[in-house]
Structure 1
Amino acid sequence: MARPVWAGNLSFGLVSLPVGIYTATDSHTIRFHQLQRGTSDRIRNRRVNERTGDEVRPDDIVKGYDTGDEYVLVEPKELDEIAPGRSRSLEIAGFVDLAEVDPIFFDRTYYLGPRGAEFGKVYSLLEQALAKAGKAGIATFVMRQHEYLVALKAENGLLTLHTLHWADEIRDPENEIDALPGKAKAAEKELKMAEQLIGAMSMDWDPEQFHDTFQEKVAALIEAKKTGETVEKAEPAAEPTGAIDLMEALRASIERAGSPKATGGKATASHRASASSEEAATKPSAKKRIRSAPKEDLTGLTKADLYRKAAAANLPGRSHMSRDDLVEALTSAGT
């Protein structure tokens, strides 16, 4: 069993519950060592005194805050001493509707577990009460010489802890992005078609449908370099859609999203409904004719589209297939 990254007491009102915080997620990033080019010599990072060039032991390192004129030195134990008790206390300040917390505030997720079977009843009581109320507990606590703002919520019989950014850590987009459209207003017809496209592409949230294809490609690249083979390069990014081409791009997108050929042979009810409403909304009058985008076949699809179809058909080994391999596999599968 995993060891908790933090252990202490969770309290709400006068109720106290000994808990442990456990890491909830893993990273599957492929990690590389740094080597000097042309050799197999590892590159190491060392703590070095920039004046003498000598390596410094971790025990001889203290923290220093630069005030401009001098450094104020702080020992690690001094940071622990200024948070007595709080380093082992997770006290809920109040409960809020989770919908009120903007997603930009969320950082990392942890599991929360009781420290002992005898505390299961209190743990379960809080989990059930939070689930029924639809609320999240807001609290602060100290871990590893940092204070965290957190949201405590119930999820499928379990208490989870979500660290939150502090309000002053959220950057103002007006100061960060110099090309915001401001009050630019979309044309009514463009807005309607964009809404239809969203409806046509609506789906149920299933995280199992998605996986890190880039890491798979990195693994394939490593394997190919071991055997001297070549790996197909990714296709270039799509060209930006200009304002003059927006309507035609929206129309073609709706047709593709609603067609069985573009959705692995299965058009959802929302796809069909959106396609019907699009047909009614864009039905040409007697004076005007609108040419529809040509129907796509496998040979006309991009590799990204082919991969989506392969994923929908649950074809094995698709992440290592070239574009031609995908076409052949999909054709053989009758997709």
Structure 2
Amino acid sequence: MARPMWTGVLTFGLVTVPVALYTATSSHDVRFHQLERGTSDRVRNKRVNERTGKEVEFSDIVKGFEVTEGEYVVVEPDELEQISPGRSRTIDIAGFVDLADVDPIYFDRTYYLGPRGREYQKVYALLVEALKHAGKAGLAMFAMRGKEYLTAVRSENGLLELHTMHFADEVRDPRTEVDNLPEKAKPTAQEVKTAEQLIGMLSIEWKPDEWHDTYEDQVRKLVEDSLPAARSPSPQGPPPRPPTSSTSWTPCAAASTAHARTKATGRRRRSPPARPGPRQPPALPSRPAARRAPAPAPPPTRPRLSAPAPPASGSCPSSPKPSSTSAPPTSTSPTAPP
């Protein structure tokens, strides 16, 4: 249940009914925040001095009434609190009027009035039934949130409703606001009868649930249709991946972890030497990449050592002993890097 926004006593004559005030309407408008274009950064409003451009603290702000252009009468917040009507504790009904005599233009906002406890239900129900049969509304002055209101209390749908109302000087005169109002033009009786027949043909039953704010529905649909585009990465980034369901989360996470570990191990350890095999040829020694030249120069010619004299006939050739200063023979077979 909603919490009451005000509690007090409704009185008229010698009758007193403890009541609670509830909000009767709510707005479902789609609310937007102000963002800087191209970012998700909120735009904030600051209290800035118009002349200096510097931000002003809330405690340094006073109210001013402009008498002439650039001339103000300054009023401190404490001065306004001293004359504020405060918070009413009672709704004291001054009198009752016929609802048919009240122009709907005077009604502003609607609130529900309910009994403050079960022990007050009987006297509350008596007042509801009496106002319903009389067709009247009770007028009272009521102060709430630092402002004084003219209110009307009436019976509707088995409970009491309180309407805040406009004062007479707040309602504009239509004769001074609306142009081209008919003054001398009067329709004939036949024309009025024909219009009444058309109105009767188009008469429908009042069903408030059948009426909707179509603009609000279109705004909400626009926001819902823009959700996938807002959540997807920018066109310059990688393409979006399909969402992972809860059933496939565990194998996907395990595979991703194993792949990351394999890449990290390969970066820390060097590759082992290649082994000969049918599918793994021996690794060649690493060489710097040679650039292809149109006409490479021939390599320099090294002097060749003279071959030893052939042995005499009938003698066995002896194996030459390597000198201690001679260089070891160079192997031409490819070897794997250590």
Normalising by structure 1, we get a TM-score of 0.61
User: 1:123 is aligned with what amino acid?
Assistant: Y
Mean Cα displacement is larger for which, 143-152 or 114-123?
114-123
1:113 CA drift (Å): 1.8
Contact kept? 2:85, 2:146, Cα under 8 Å: no
1:60 CA drift (Å): 3.8
Flag the 1:133–1:189 CA change in 2: closer, same or farther, 3 A: closer
User: 1:196 is aligned with what amino acid?
Assistant: Q
Aligned residues: percent identity? 61
Flag the 1:121–1:192 CA change in 2: closer, same or farther, 3 A: closer
Alignment of structure 1 residues 312-327 onto 2, 5 Å = none
Contact kept? 2:153, 2:163, Cα under 8 Å: yes
Flag the 1:112–1:184 CA change in 2: closer, same or farther, 3 A: same
Give the match for residue 131 of structure 2. 130
Flag the 1:127–1:216 CA change in 2: closer, same or farther, 3 A: same
User: 1:194 is aligned with what amino acid?
Assistant: A
After superposition, the C-alpha distances for 1:117-136 in whole angstroms (9 at most, x for unaligned) are 33333322222221221211
Q: Helix, strand or coil: the match of 1:221? A: helix
Cα distance in 2, alignment partners of residues 140 and 111 from structure 1: 16
Contact kept? 1:98, 1:134, Cα under 8 Å: yes
Cα distance in 1, alignment partners of residues 52 and 88 from structure 2: 37
Mean Cα displacement is larger for which, 51-60 or 13-22?
51-60
Give the match for residue 35 of structure 1. 35
1:95 CA drift (Å): 0.5
Contact kept? 2:86, 2:144, Cα under 8 Å: no
Mean Cα displacement is larger for which, 219-228 or 12-21?
219-228
Give the match for residue 66 of structure 2. 66
Q: Helix, strand or coil: the match of 1:7? A: strand
Q: What CA RMSD, in Å, does the superposition of the two structures yield over aligned residues?
A: 2.4
Q: Helix, strand or coil: the match of 1:33? A: coil
Flag the 1:56–1:198 CA change in 2: closer, same or farther, 3 A: same
Contact kept? 1:79, 1:145, Cα under 8 Å: no
Q: Helix, strand or coil: the match of 1:32? A: coil
Give the match for residue 145 of structure 1. 146
Flag the 1:158–1:227 CA change in 2: closer, same or farther, 3 A: same
Give the match for residue 248 of structure 1. none
Instruction: Point out the structure with max Rg over C-alpha.
Output: 2
Cα distance in 1, alignment partners of residues 85 and 29 from structure 2: 37
Flag the 1:35–1:180 CA change in 2: closer, same or farther, 3 A: farther
User: 2:105 is aligned with what amino acid?
Assistant: I
1:86 CA drift (Å): 6.2
Flag the 1:13–1:58 CA change in 2: closer, same or farther, 3 A: farther
Flag the 1:135–1:144 CA change in 2: closer, same or farther, 3 A: same
After superposition, the C-alpha distances for 1:101-126 in whole angstroms (9 at most, x for unaligned) are 10111111000122233333332222
1:26 CA drift (Å): 1.1
1:204 CA drift (Å): 1.5
Flag the 1:70–1:227 CA change in 2: closer, same or farther, 3 A: closer
Alignment of structure 1 residues 157-306 onto 2, 5 Å = 157-186=158-187, 189-226=190-227
Contact kept? 1:112, 1:160, Cα under 8 Å: yes
1:210 CA drift (Å): 1.1
Q: Helix, strand or coil: the match of 1:45? A: coil
User: 1:55 is aligned with what amino acid?
Assistant: E
Cα distance in 2, alignment partners of residues 137 and 201 from structure 1: 35
Q: Which structure 1 residue ranges, 4+ long, deviate > 4 Å from structure 2?
A: 83-86, 187-190
Contact kept? 2:86, 2:145, Cα under 8 Å: no
Contact kept? 1:140, 1:149, Cα under 8 Å: yes
1:80 CA drift (Å): 4.4
Cα distance in 1, alignment partners of residues 197 and 161 from structure 2: 36
Alignment of structure 1 residues 96-115 onto 2, 5 Å = 96-115=97-116
1:227 CA drift (Å): 5.1
Residue correspondences, number? 227
Flag the 1:147–1:84 CA change in 2: closer, same or farther, 3 A: closer
Normalising by structure 2, we get a TM-score of 0.61
Cα distance in 1, alignment partners of residues 73 and 84 from structure 2: 22
1:29 CA drift (Å): 0.9
Structure 2: runs of 5+ lacking an equivalent = 230-338
User: 1:72 is aligned with what amino acid?
Assistant: V
Q: Helix, strand or coil: the match of 1:137? A: strand
User: 1:93 is aligned with what amino acid?
Assistant: A
Cα distance in 2, alignment partners of residues 20 and 57 from structure 1: 37
Cα distance in 2, alignment partners of residues 25 and 159 from structure 1: 15
Structure 1: runs of 5+ lacking an equivalent = 229-335
1:170 CA drift (Å): 0.6
Flag the 1:121–1:72 CA change in 2: closer, same or farther, 3 A: farther
1:144 CA drift (Å): 1.0
User: 1:225 is aligned with what amino acid?
Assistant: S
Cα distance in 2, alignment partners of residues 217 and 16 from structure 1: 49
Q: Helix, strand or coil: the match of 2:34? A: coil
Contact kept? 2:24, 2:112, Cα under 8 Å: yes
Q: Helix, strand or coil: the match of 1:108? A: strand
Q: Helix, strand or coil: the match of 1:87? A: coil
Q: Helix, strand or coil: the match of 1:47? A: coil
